[in-house]
Structure 1
Amino acid sequence: MESAITELDHLQIPLQKIQDATDNFSDKNIIGKGGFGKVYRGKLKHHGKMIKISARRLDRKSLNGDIEFWTEVSTLSTLSVLMEDHHYFTVKMIGFCDEKGEKIVVNHHCRKGSLSQYISDPLTLDVNQRLSIAAKVCSGIFNIRTKLKGDYIIHRNINSCTILLDEKWEPRLSGFEYCIKQSKERLNQVVNSEVIGTQGYLDSAVGKYGGVNHKSDIYSIGVVLFELLCGRKAFQENVLLVPLVKFHYENGTMNDIIHPDIWNQMNPRSFKCFSEVAYSCLQEDPTRRPEIEKLYNQLEKANLLQEEKDEMHEIPPIFENLLDISSPNLWKVKNWEHLKIELTHIHSIPPSPLEYYARSYKNNYHHTFKQEIEYYDKQNVFFIEQQNIDKLPKRRHHVAAKLLVYKEDVFLSEIKALYGCRHPNIQSFLGFYHNGDKMMLFYDYVSNKRLYDILDDGNLTWEKRLKICIDIAHGLDYLHNEMENEKMVIHGDLNSKKIELDDNFGAKIVGFEISVTKHKNQNDDSLQMNGDIKETYYMDPEYVKTNKLKRESDVYSFGVIMFEIMCGIPCFMVEHEDGKENEGMSSLVRRWCDEGIIKEKLASGIKEENYISNLFLKKGPNKNSLNTFMDITCKCLAKSQNQRPGIKLIIKKLQQSLSFHVSQ
């Protein structure tokens, strides 16, 4: 400790300067009180400039506090170095004083005070500001984790009082006196510690398992998120917020406890995204809470969705145009008339923004949403070509409806690919609507879950992950080898956002916008995709060089998905070593295998050691199962198309991996 203190000598500030800055610790300058002591505002000349400061003064009557004082000074010193070139949304330390029995931490003053002051004031702190603050706090924690070499900081006391706001309403995380530094190699293990924190924010798992880990902070962040969302403090009028929000979230009555001014400002899609990830932070089992990367990404998504509020609170004009059925039918698709769905069969053209956007997402090609149609039994939809379809019984179905405008090439690509397609691991195509430049495609509705969104889910066990991979492989085998009439489909844009999961985690391949359909005997060399791939991390490197699209291109993309399933994070979030930022997935995975570090990259929820307790083991991957899976994943990621395995061999190896695991 003494050597560490010596290294901080350059940050020492004489006591007299702090006394002058705070008018000798005048009561009129007190801006906060806590277990550590009082906080004073003041003006201090620092490096020739007069700056506003906050001085946290340890209560001299306290018998404790030395360790906490030096913990905060050391941590903030480290973070201040990190913040020289970056903005990490943490309070910035100017220096400290350890003189004449006084222990004082001096930070840059955050003019707006603590977030806690504004929780119940949606006029001063509107929804956009609340969403921005939430995302930036998580961004700060995520960036600290990324930049700290070898260590990870567990804060242990995140709450709306330790989140300060500067003059621009930017959040600054403070209160690091109780934090613990944990080696990244031991990230998933519990650190034995006493229960410390603020009522309403304490993770119950800390007492249960005798210590903390990085998911303890996630719980506290979840409480702050619901404070921001509801306009209620974590402990208010002797009522704890957490059990209240859990009850109302699970019963679909959150609007009963959200401040009306906040509720009226929220975009329904943004609310859904924000509340879902906030609720996941409060799971009793820490393994089911999201990693900070996933949390940050979802909060950023909520921010983006909120920006679309004005547009989304009205039914898009395109729907009003669709309702005009007097114009002549100009659809050009031949021999598919039995798949055509009239607008008179389409029910529930979105009556409310919440209903409309509950299952909606956009990309460059389309807008997809949940819809209800009256149509033939979907089990028989492809067997009715020769029948009088008007006499067939109809019933209502919930479907996924895809709206396209001026995208006839995409429209035709999807119908060509999926017409006649009947496989449990391919989303079923039901029919279409086409009127001039307005086109809609209808599919069997799967669920709200994309594989991409739950990669780090603690409930996604190794067995479930293997079964998802096997499902995807069976779907690809059907597309590549088993379709009727010698047809073959190359998906061309396979990624974890194009894998939807039903309620039993059964996987279905979706999203055939730029797929290529051909006869099995057709030469591959002239094949090209019908559009641009946006998810470039999944793109076959040989196709990039040669423009030759083959079945092996899908195999490469599937290899990237298997890598994500194994590691529990999207491929674009993988941390690269300095100087290797442009390293492709193929080289990265092979290097990790060669260096023997790939097992360290496993998703936290499937590691053999239970990161809730050091006393119990989870049933993590069997060694042979994991090795078999890693081997076939590496082969799928070969740079050359002719070095990649066929899909039938991949299925065999995945089934072998599953067999090893379930028999252990």
Structure 2
Amino acid sequence: MDAFLQQFQHLQIQHQDITSATDNFNDDNCIGRGGFGKVYKGELSHSKGRSTVAIKRLDPRHGQGIPEFLKEITTLSRYTHENLICLLGFCYQGDEMILVYEHASRGSLDHYLNNAHLTWLQRLKICLDAAEGLSYLHNPRETHQRLIHCDSVIVTVASGTPGYCDPQYAMTHTLTKESDVYSFGVVLFEVLCGRLCCTYSNGRVQQNLVRTWIKSYEEKKLNDVIFKDTAILPLDQSALEIFSDIAYRCLKESREDRPRMAEVVSELETAIGYQKQFQDLTIPLEEITLATNHFNVEKNYIGGGAFGKVYRGEVSLCKDRSMTAIKRIDPKYGQGIPKFLKEIMTLSCYRHENIVSLLGFCYQGDEMILVYEHVSRGSLDRYLDSPHLTWSRRLKICLDAAKGLRYLHDQRETHQRLIHYGVKSANILLDDQWNAKVSDVGLSIMDPADEQNSVIVTVAEGTPGYCDPQYAMTHTLTKKSDVYSFGVVLFEVLCGRLCYTLDSEDHVKEILMTTWIKRYEQNKLNDIIFKYPTIQPLNQSTLEIFSDIAYQCFKESGDDRPKMVEVVAVLERSLDLLSYQEFMGEWNKTNNVL
């Protein structure tokens, strides 16, 4: 014992100093208790200076005797890491066995699981810190052996808190590093769900939620259990997928299938990266107010709808200033916080040259504002009868929009497929070069990739003329519902007008789709096709290809309608054919001149 005390003399603290710091172990200074005894808070001088410390006073009646006490000192003195509670000293005097640790001022994580002040970035960072601490214990260094947090490898009696203990231990009485990984997976799900893994009644476990959480993950229903609070920004979709996936893998039944803590650290770092990118989209309200001249209707207003108003303004983005479209949500018109957050989540995951990009957002006080790229020429519906839209330009616009929808419909590694359910010429925007971009993607509906059927919707915002007739009967939206709506747009471009007429009070008077379909079936497209004296007519072969794919989009059965990938292929072929014929026409003119 003397040799031991000599070896760790630099860590020894006098009993009288501890007594003084804790006011003679006054219960007012007690900050915790357990099977080992009590923990007190006090200010002490120690080997690293003077600070507030946590003083663990062991009670030998509760099982921790001198060997365990000495082992804890030996072990903790060797393991130093920023994410491990540091041993600052000890006292072994008379019957007293006291350990002095650094004091973590906010206490334990379990007190904050459902705290709205804990942002998702903070939650992820807390998990990463803890993972790095465990990874340090598990991976051998030159100065120490690897540790299992539960102390040993083969154990006949181990204190395991219900809900956290590796199920394999109950069968084998063997603890491995993977036992810690399992327990840490439970913690990850607690952080994700904002609650402890067990519910209690009269001090006894009433329900273990771990199996419920695993089932929710496997059924892709995490939204049912994830922590939600409108006071904080939501968890980025990519970050959620990475975080929940690594948590789920930690809970695998077979230890061989669980990841190492080093891999857990790497995955959490990636999730944090995605969440930081998401939070970097925030734009201060002050900057938006200045950019819009305090939301000046006369100078900056460019459009609006049931959601509120859209303004034009120049804001700073990634050290550059860009002209943007600023959508100021008016909650009085039905788009509340959930819909606003959904639009941010959706648009932050979907990036494509033919999709209007979300550049930032503001969620400050009562303000809910979305900042999009500014598409300078506005929406396609304004140009349907414009002589500026030559036939090659019209086909190119349709092809661009089709590519945007194809991107939404086809699942990628980074996102689930979407049903837009708002496809119309007013939601196809045109830039300076007449490139088309699909807008209003943020209010789309997720179409789970593992479901052949689609999404049942009791209320969907559908503009007359564009809505799939099957929806009116079934209240079911599919990707083919978007195909139908896009077929309407194709006929609008072909005919140079909207698919409906309005009366004097701007109410829909007539839907023209029935007439257009009839003219196609009667081979009388020439009666309705757009004509303008200065525009070269569309040649017959291109007209047949274009009108045929538009007509197929209208098939009564969704199964008979083409996929967007097929629509893209046909439009590419029609545009290539038109370009070739225009080239040959110019070539023939040149040859005739010569």
Task: State the TM-score, normalizing by the size of structure 2.
Answer: 0.50
Task: State the TM-score, normalizing by the size of structure 1.
Answer: 0.45
